[in-house]
Amino acid sequence: MESIGFGIIGLGRIGAFHANSLQNAVSGAHLVAATVDPDHRRMLQDSGAAPCPLEEDVDSLLARRDVEAVVVASPAVAHAEHITLAAAAGKPIFSEKPLADSVPKAELAANAVLAAGVPFQIGFQRRYDRGYARARELIAAGAIGDVEMFRGMSCDRLGPIEFLRTSGGIFMDLASHDFDAARFLTGEEITEVFAVGAVLIEPELETFDDVDHAIVLLRFANGALGVVQESWRAPYGYDIRAEVHGNKGKVIAEVDEKYPTVLYDSRGKVSERHDQFVERFSDAYQAELQAFVDALHAGAPPTPGIEDALQTMRVAAAATTSRRENRWVSVSDA
């Protein structure tokens, strides 16, 4: 089967990881070119570190016939525009989360994808993590009975303030992974949220009404309850978990150790943790991209798709409103 040529929009932390996957790990695809902003392009060219041809802008990338599919890995604020352009060009799209930085922009992007009929996958890689995937299998097979409670947590390092300014905020950038995990693991829609937040690390976040710590209460369509806990502080290493309780048991996805090894010494019991998301989820990032490429070759719809992207976006927007207005917000109102 022919290899599919990919273009990448945005060659930053995650774009560079996807570029490497397309060059070295994903079968049935190859990297053709990437686009970055002017400053970044200059830096890459000067350092000789560009892993592929760098196109002038998104239009010229999309105009290439050998770019048959795209990865959108630009900042969240630009996702809707880049998805819309790629859809209009008829290119299948793998987009990093979140779908956009607001619901109206997310709806425009979704409409463009649906109108063009191009395959679309959103980058919620936890669905392709072995621990999360196995947890979902167990829950779907009835291993814990009826789902009654969800608990999700993400603790990560605070990124550069310029990244945070264009990220859509903690609920769209960080918590969206947990909202998607909640929907994926429980198989239930989140209907209502109540969010609180605090600025405990970076006062500059207040200038654009964001927070660095947050807790979100969730209500699910089947009556189950949930809580999601977010922090831009992880001094001991990247820390993410999910726990789902049912009337017959519970399942936990929590495989955070860097090595399956525990050291016992004068400090007691020591196990090393992953430092960054690219370490913790390297297999899942490659697996999600491989699944996208496989779906394109098979002519099957990739997953999670545009409806998942939009629904999780609405949950994140509802949490943002809830935190700002200090009230329960229905996801259908977001």
Ligand X SMILES: NC(=O)c1ccc[n+]([C@@H]2O[C@H](COP(=O)([O-])OP(=O)(O)OC[C@H]3O[C@@H](n4cnc5c(N)ncnc54)[C@H](O)[C@@H]3O)[C@@H](O)[C@H]2O)c1
Q: Which residues bind ligand X (CB under 6 A)?
A: 9-15, 35-37, 40, 58, 73-76, 78, 96-97, 123, 125, 163, 173, 277
Nearer to ligand X, 183 or 219 (CB): 183
Q: How far is the CB of 310 from ligand X (least distance, A)?
A: 16
* Shortest distance in whole angstroms from residue 163 CB to ligand X: 5
Q: Distance between CA 45 and CA 91 in Å, rounded? A: 27
- Quote the CA–CA distance of 268 and 318 in Å, as a whole number: 44
To ligand X, the closest distance from the beta carbon of 12 in angstroms equals: 2
| Distance, CA of 79 to CA of 93 (rounded, Å) | 11
Of 76, 78, 24, 82, give the one whose Cα is nearest residue 51. 24
Of 94 and 150, nearer to ligand X (C-beta) is: 94
CB of 37 to ligand X, least distance (A): 4
CB nearer ligand X, residue 17 or residue 220: 17
Indicate the residue among 99 and 139 with the shorter CB distance to ligand X.
Answer: 99
Query: What b-and-e string marks burial along 98-117, b requiring 16 or more CB atoms within 10 Å of the CB?
Result: bbbbbbebbbbbbebbeebe
Q: Which is nearer to ligand X, 33 or 73 (CB)?
A: 73
Q: Which long-range contacts (CB under 8 A, 24 or more apart) does 325-330 make?
A: 326/196, 327/194, 328/192, 328/193, 328/194, 329/192, 329/193, 329/194, 330/191, 330/192
The DSSP result for 268-293, as a single string, is: EEE--B--SHHHHTHHHHHHHHHHHH
**What are the phi and psi torsion angles at 15 (to 5°)?**
-60, -40
Secondary structure element (H or E) that encloses residue 221, with its range: none
Name which of 219 and 274 has its Cβ closer to ligand X.
Answer: 274
Give whichever of 9 and 316 is closer to ligand X, judged by the CB atom. 9
Nearest distance in Å: CB 300, ligand X: 22
CB of 46 to ligand X, least distance (A): 14
Pairing of strands 329-330, 268-270: unpaired
CB 181 within 8 A of CB 136: no
Minimum CB distance to ligand X, residue 91 (Å): 15
Q: How far apart are the first and last CA of the chain?
A: 43
State which residue, 184 or 220, has the beta carbon closest to ligand X: 184
**246: Cβ–Cβ under 8 A, 6 or more apart, which residues?**
139, 143, 144, 145, 146, 147, 148
Strand partners, 150: 226, 244
CB of 59 to ligand X, least distance (A): 11
